[in-house]
Amino acid sequence: MTGPVRTERRGAVVVVTIDRPEVFNALNAEVLGRLRAAVLDAEDEARRTMEAGQRALRDIERVAVPVIAAVNGVALGGGFELVLASTFPVLSTRASLGLPESGLGLIPGYGGTQRLPRLARRPAAFADLVRQEPA
């Protein structure tokens, strides 16, 4: 998009820039309308991706045949959510799992926040969140 509001995609991030230096990037009706359109467009793309991921992992979780997730490396974010949705996760000693979104103030988008507490013992799932008193 050109004009007073520019949109640029950087991987999974959409950068929206207000470019009106002659008026110190002041907002007016046109800028607000374009800003709103840019944000709603980015939301639509994100929503479609998130809903597709949720549907896929829900189907994996509910399918009538066993699903094996074999991990011999890093499974972060959506990869870890896929492991959580599988029937039998098989992890090597080199497997590294996690939901790094939570450290960024984001919510895992494919159901990991519901699956992890259900599948892990509560103390194991939340061990790093609980301060242990010295014995």
What local confidence, expressed as pLDDT, does residue 85 receive? Answer: 94
39 and 74 together in one domain: no
- Domain annotation covers residue 135: no
Mean pLDDT by 10 residues, the chain (135 residues): 85 91 96 95 88 95 95 93 92 91 83 81 51 50
Query: Annotated catalytic, 51?
Result: no
Choose the catalytic residue: 8, 51, 61, 81: 81
Question: How many Å apart are CA 1 and CA 16, to the nearest integer?
Answer: 10
Choose the catalytic residue: 8, 43, 51, 101: 101
80 and 35 together in one domain: no
44 and 68 together in one domain: no
46 and 73 together in one domain: no
37 and 75 together in one domain: no
What local confidence, expressed as pLDDT, does residue 118 receive? Answer: 81
Query: Annotated catalytic, 81?
Result: yes
78 and 102 together in one domain: yes
78 and 125 together in one domain: yes
CB 38 within 8 Å of CB 16: yes
What local confidence, expressed as pLDDT, does residue 123 receive? Answer: 53
75 and 125 together in one domain: yes
Backbone dihedral region for residue 52 (phi beyond 0: left; psi -120 to 50: alpha; all else: beta): alpha
Question: How many Å apart are CA 75 and CA 69, to the nearest integer?
Answer: 10
68 and 94 together in one domain: yes
What local confidence, expressed as pLDDT, does residue 54 receive? Answer: 93
46 and 71 together in one domain: no
Domain count, the chain: 2
- Range(s) of the domain holding residue 107: 64-129
- Domain annotation covers residue 115: yes
What local confidence, expressed as pLDDT, does residue 2 receive? Answer: 66
What local confidence, expressed as pLDDT, does residue 1 receive? Answer: 46
- Angle, CA of 80, 99 and 126, to the nearest 5°: 110
Q: In this structure, what CATH number is given to the domain that contains residue 89? A: 3.90.226.20
